[in-house]
Structure 1
Amino acid sequence: MFERFSGEARDVVVGAQEEARALRHERIGTEHLLLAALRHPDEPGAATLVRLGVTRESCRTAVSRVAGGGADGLGPEDAAALRAFGIDLDEIRRRTEATFGPGALDGPGPEAARDREPGKPWPLSALERLRGEGGGSGDRTAPRGGGAASGKGHIPFAPRAKKALELSLREAVALRDRRIGVEHVVLGLLRSDDRLTRAVFAHLDVDPGRARAEVLADRREAA
């Protein structure tokens, strides 16, 4: 399938690995494909997202909150459920960091905090480690140390990222395009129905259905 990708779309796939490595994530997910697509803001699909207010900076913030930090890596549905029980994650984080310093909740515990050098980033949170060690889903994002996430070796694709790329091929076929471009990758991402991808778009205030319609409309106008 990869030979059908345009040069820019190939850059997106390669760039997704770079994004995952930069974020110290163990697998390439849809969030990394989205970040890599936004490296080409003038390409169809990515240009539509930019017009809708999405930037690499806002996307990186959304990814960090959903997949690697923010409200302890929990999605908006989790945070809302906890608030229903009177638990406000943002307020807990604010109070904890006011007492122990920025990033305190991202550390694994007192021992790591004691040994941490001033100015150094906090280690992975316990929640991130558990997410990385939870077997079965194949969607681990947090590294357990070494390997691809530390800059060595190839980072594998998570199942949801593979599905998004397969959907991009289907989009190209449905549109009778011979090549898979950035717009097809974006369309594939917008069709993704996994929880993490939906949460990233929710943080970006992007409705996937509306954005998809906008991408197709922009494509027709450019034809």
Structure 2
Amino acid sequence: MFERFTRSARVAVVLAQEEARDAGADRITPTHLLLGVLGTVDGELQSELGEVGLTVDAVRAADVGRVLTDQDADALKGIGIDVAAVADAVSERFGFDVLRPIRKRFRAGNIPFGPGAKRSLQLALREAVNRKDRSIDGAHVVLGVLRSDDAESLAAVESVVPRDELRRRLYDLLDRPAA
């Protein structure tokens, strides 16, 4: 299937793996795929996604799996709680790096695709085949994520734009003649 992916779509998949690794995940999820696409988009797709507010920052802001953001740490510091000092005390008492996820500490090499990410990529291929497109690009991957019905990635998308509107915009983008 990856032979049909454009260069930017392949880079998006590599970035998705890096996103998963950075998050300490043991599998690539549809949200990681979405972040990978958003990290590589350019041209018309970037303009379209930016216009509706779908950015890396927006998806990360909607990330329910993140325990403490930098803004959270700043807010806590404002009321006298130094998160770094707390982390240092916990590490001193219970061992170095105890707060870092174990999977992240020891994860090397390829991270496998989770079932949702596999389904998203299969659906991206179906989108391209149904449209009779010769290649799969970032827009197809986003459409695959939208069709996958993954709750986390859909919550991230719908925090900024209704999924049906995004789907319509992506179809319109793909229907435009090449410039």
**TM-score range relative to shorter protein:** 0.7 to 0.9
Map 1:20-99 to 2 at 5 A.
Answer: 20-43=20-43, 45-63=45-63, 66-70=64-68, 98=79
1:101 is aligned with what amino acid? D
- Report the aligned-residue RMSD: 3.3
Map 1:143-158 to 2 at 5 A.
Answer: 143-144=102-103, 146-148=105-107, 152-158=108-114
- Counterpart for residue 163 of structure 2: 208
**Which runs of 5 or more residues in structure 1 are unaligned?**
72-89, 125-141
2:115 is aligned with what amino acid? P
SS at match of 2:176: helix
- Counterpart for residue 102 of structure 1: 83
How many residue pairs align between the two structures? Answer: 174
Q: Distance in 1 between matches of 2:43 and 2:102?
A: 32
**1:181, CA displacement in angstroms?**
1.2
- Counterpart for residue 93 of structure 2: 115
TM-score, L = length of structure 1: 0.65
Q: Distance in 2 between matches of 1:15 and 1:2?
A: 15
Please tell me whether the aligned partners of residues 128 and 134 of structure 2 are also in contact (alpha carbons under 8 angstroms): yes
**1:190, CA displacement in angstroms?**
1.7
- Counterpart for residue 119 of structure 2: 163
**1:121, CA displacement in angstroms?**
8.2
Q: Distance in 2 between matches of 1:144 and 1:42?
A: 32
- Counterpart for residue 218 of structure 1: 173
SS at match of 1:67: coil
Q: Distance in 2 between matches of 1:216 and 1:104?
A: 50
Residue deviations 1:79-137, cap 9 Å, x none?
xxxxxxxxxxx9xxx78x946433899x7xxx7365389xx98815xxxxxxxxxxxxx
What percentage of residue pairs aligned between the two structures are identical? 37
- Counterpart for residue 85 of structure 1: none
Q: Give the direction of change, closer, same or farther, for the CA distance of 1:219–1:102 in structure 2 (3 Å limit).
A: same
1:115 is aligned with what amino acid? R
**Which runs of 5 or more residues in structure 2 are unaligned?**
none
Please tell me whether the aligned partners of residues 172 and 178 of structure 1 are also in contact (alpha carbons under 8 angstroms): yes
TM-score, L = length of structure 2: 0.79
1:9 aligns with 2:9: yes
Please tell me whether the aligned partners of residues 169 and 184 of structure 1 are also in contact (alpha carbons under 8 angstroms): yes
Residue deviations 1:188-213, cap 9 Å, x none?
1122212212222233x221111000
**1:185, CA displacement in angstroms?**
0.6
SS at match of 1:174: helix
